A = this chain, B = another copy of it.
Amino acid sequence: MSKSKVWLRGLSLMILSASLHVPSRAQETPPSNLQTLRAGLNLMPVPASAQIGSGSLKIDGRFTVLLTGHTDARLSGAAERFLERLAKQTGLLIAMKPANGAKATLLVRVDHDSKPVQELGEDESYVLEVAPSGASITAPTDLGALHGLQTFLQLVTVSPDGFVAPAVTIKDTPRFPWRGLMIDTARHFIPLEVLRRNIDGMEAVKMNVFHWHLSENQGFRVESRKFPKLHQMGSDGLYYTQDEIRGLITYARERGIRVVPEFDLPGHSTAWFVGHPEFASAPGPFAIERRWGVFDPAFDPTNEKVYKFLDEFIGEMAKLFPDHFFHVGGDEVNGKQWGANPKIQEFIRAHDLKGNAGLQLYFNKKLQGIVRKHGKSMVGWDEVLDPTLPKDIVIQSWRGQASLAEAARQGYRGILSNGYYLDLGWSAARHYAVDPMGDAASSLSAEEKQRILGGESCMWSEYVNAENIDSRIWPRNAAIAERLWSPQEVRDPASMYARMHVVSAQLEWLGLTHQHNYLRSLRRIAGAASSEEFNALRTLADVVEPVKDYAREQTATEPATSDTPLNRVVDAIPLESTVAREFSEMVDKYVASSCHDATLAGRLHAQLILWRDNDAKLQPLAQRSFLVKEVAATSQDLAAVAAAGLAALDTVEHGGNTDEAWKAQQSAVVQQAQKPKGQLLLMPATAIQKLIDAASAGGSCQLNRSSSTAKDAYRKKFS
């Protein structure tokens, strides 16, 4: 990389701009240098390249935007929304007035039209330049300009001298063309206003596909004018009218987001059969499913009327949803109805199909023909993958990265969702580590890699409703959005968390409720609690997470259904505990300092005291509220592990017996606390075990600890 090469690939390399006189260091600069940017740019996703300038642009009430070059309704609407957001985000009075020529603070210049129906792979690039004298965004089409406006909003920060945007030149373009969020609106119906605010969130982190999961065993959510029994009988009255759907598609398009509908076939289809039992593989009648799980009902692939129906239905939906892609599901057909139906089994034999799998392939081929007839390309979950299908279909991999790579090898395009299931309660860091080009895909040829279009996070909605869905999606979804937009080498979780923390707060200005609905729900759980009691509940709730993966089903005392209220602590808390994560980081640093860092010791001590004493404050409330009572055992666990942690800290600092028996005793407390109760995990337990290990005889802190200075500092602090 030569000195003259000003443009640097990856913000991870941005540190270079300050050290261009040492070019030999260029290629060694690790992604962890991103951390140096924390106090500066909190961009998420990190742009493809950026060059820091000097000084900053002042943001005040005189801020104006001027659109030059090619301008259309989407762009001017985006500029208006941009000014509104800027006003909210700063609290400044920024008028929605037209800018006065060259004096505008921000000039936006777009070269030419984008496609009337947004297409996969359209140019989304932009260049954003901010100088103390003004800013500009240039982009081939309004799609790039939309992204540039969002980047600008993230640049705006509070400074010692008011709100500013630091001088910077950003050249940005996404790594993948398909960056999606799927929301399951079928298991729990999700109102349109909730979808709209989530689409606003997607725009903020530059996602560009809203995958709308619209039918399930538990509900059929679209008005069909051709087959009105589908929504009338299959939805409990909770469905989207065609006008509402058109409205949402327009709303998404205004934000540079495609809408891909999914109608799951031939399984996951009980709700269709409530109105149309004649298309099922077993006799009816059928009722809307209330339980969660995989169920038997499936379309009858041997029934020619099914294809006639699907032709008409998909024809209707193909007109309603303008996107080129049409998702037909295809997952989790258990084959029980097929196996139990002699006529179907006879059909399999007569057509020499390979069992039920062969029957589904037969169905998929016909389905693919119907979808193509109506001008669309079919998308399906990875069960649909078969080398005999046409190559224009897209495989969405949910079962593993291997199937994505396999699809690419076979010539199919694919998108990754395995590793991006938001409902499983993984940490943002764990999602963030999953790369569509990682694992099996890393060995693909360049041509094969081209077929990997990107990925989609998935919000399945068994335990999700309008009240808590935002906190299940955000802020973790921002980490996945970054994975799909930013250069592959941007992968430092510490930097990601630091930036996500800032972006998370900004998202609330869009109307997302992930932060405030948490507190609102906790207040309901607490009922008429004193401030001290409520704070105690919050202290506990801040450090627990729901059990992970599918453990919620496995640990339920009675199976949850769609009638189960979602008003428990497990439903209210964020899926990732910030307090526990920060505590764990503190413990790691403290142990890494061989327990010499007295400041950290003081902070750990204060935190552990708070936790140890919290249970006594919470117990009276647990006697009054059944929803608090459910977490009483976990509250006792928190007190117990905090006491164990304090014992560890104290023996390190003050000395004392930490033999094997001591360690076993303290560890037993932690192990007890690590057992989920009330479907909750007590997150600080693991870090406290680390503290015990370090403090125990032979542990890193006991071995290294001899300085009396640190002990003195500790004693001074706590006596």
Contact = CB atoms under 8 A, between A and B. Distances in A.
Contact of A61 (B88, B505, B525, B563): B563
Q: Which of A61, A93, A519 has the most CB of B within 10 A?
A: A93
A17 interface: no
Contact of A519 (B158, B498, B515, B526): B515
- How large, as a class, is the contact surface on chain A? 35 or more
A229 interface: no
Nearest to A466: B88
A520 B509 contact: yes
A563 B160 CA distance: 21
Nearest to A61: B563
Contacts of A625: 158-160
A341 B575 CA distance: 71
A87 to B, nearest CB: 9
Given A515-B519, A531-B579, A524 B159 contact: no
A708 B685 CA distance: 39
Contact of A528 (B39, B516, B523): B39
A157 interface: yes
Interface string A558-593: 000001111100010000001100100000000000
Interface string A39-54: 1001000000000000
A121 interface: no
Contacts of A531: 501, 578-579, 582
Given A61-B565, A509-B520, A626-B162, A528 B93 contact: no
A19 interface: no
A157 B528 CA distance: 8
A501 to B, nearest CB: 8
A452 to B, nearest CB: 34
B93 A565 contact: yes
Given A509-B520, A516-B519, A527 B157 contact: yes
Interface in A588-642: 603, 623-627, 629
Interface in A121-165: 157-162
Interface in A182-206: none
Contacts of A39: 528, 624
A516 B520 CA distance: 9
A94 to B, nearest CB: 9
Contacts of A567: 90-92
A508 interface: yes
A38 interface: yes
A157 B526 CA distance: 10
Copies in the complex: 2
Interface in A538-571: 563-567, 571
Given A160-B626, A519-B516, A89 B563 contact: no
B565 A38 contact: no
A591 to B, nearest CB: 20
Nearest to A621: B158
Contacts of A509: 520, 524
Nearest to A578: B531
Interface in A80-107: 88-93
Contacts of A532: 603
A161 B626 contact: yes
A624 B528 contact: no
A521 interface: yes
A650 to B, nearest CB: 13
Nearest to A468: B91
A629 B527 CA distance: 37
Given A160-B626, A624-B159, A91 B528 contact: no
Contacts of A525: 158
A531 to B, nearest CB: 6
A42 B516 contact: no
A502 interface: yes
Nearest to A60: B565
A92 B565 contact: yes
Nearest to A582: B531
Scoring A162, A502, A567, A582 by chain B CB atoms within 10 A of each residue's CB, the highest score goes to A567
A496 to B, nearest CB: 14
A187 to B, nearest CB: 13
Given A159-B626, A627-B158, A91 B566 contact: yes
Contacts of A406: none
B524 A91 contact: yes
A465 to B, nearest CB: 9
A2 interface: no
A627 B162 CA distance: 8
A224 B546 CA distance: 56
A241 to B, nearest CB: 18
A635 to B, nearest CB: 16
A709 interface: no
Chain A to chain B: the 4 pairs with minimum beta-carbon distance, closest first:
A91-B567, A516-B516, A158-B527, A505-B523
24 contacts: A39-B624, A61-B563, A89-B524, A90-B567, A91-B521, A93-B563, A93-B565, A157-B527, A158-B624, A158-B625, A158-B626, A158-B627, A160-B624, A160-B626, A161-B626, A501-B531, A502-B527, A505-B523, A508-B523, A509-B520, A515-B520, A516-B520, A531-B578, A719-B719
Interface of A: 38-39, 42, 61, 88-93, 157-162, 467, 498, 501-502, 505, 508-509, 515-516, 519-521, 523-528, 531-532, 563-567, 571, 578-579, 582, 603, 623-627, 629, 719
Given A158-B527, A158-B626, A160-B624, 4 more contacts: A91-B521, A158-B524, A162-B626, A508-B520
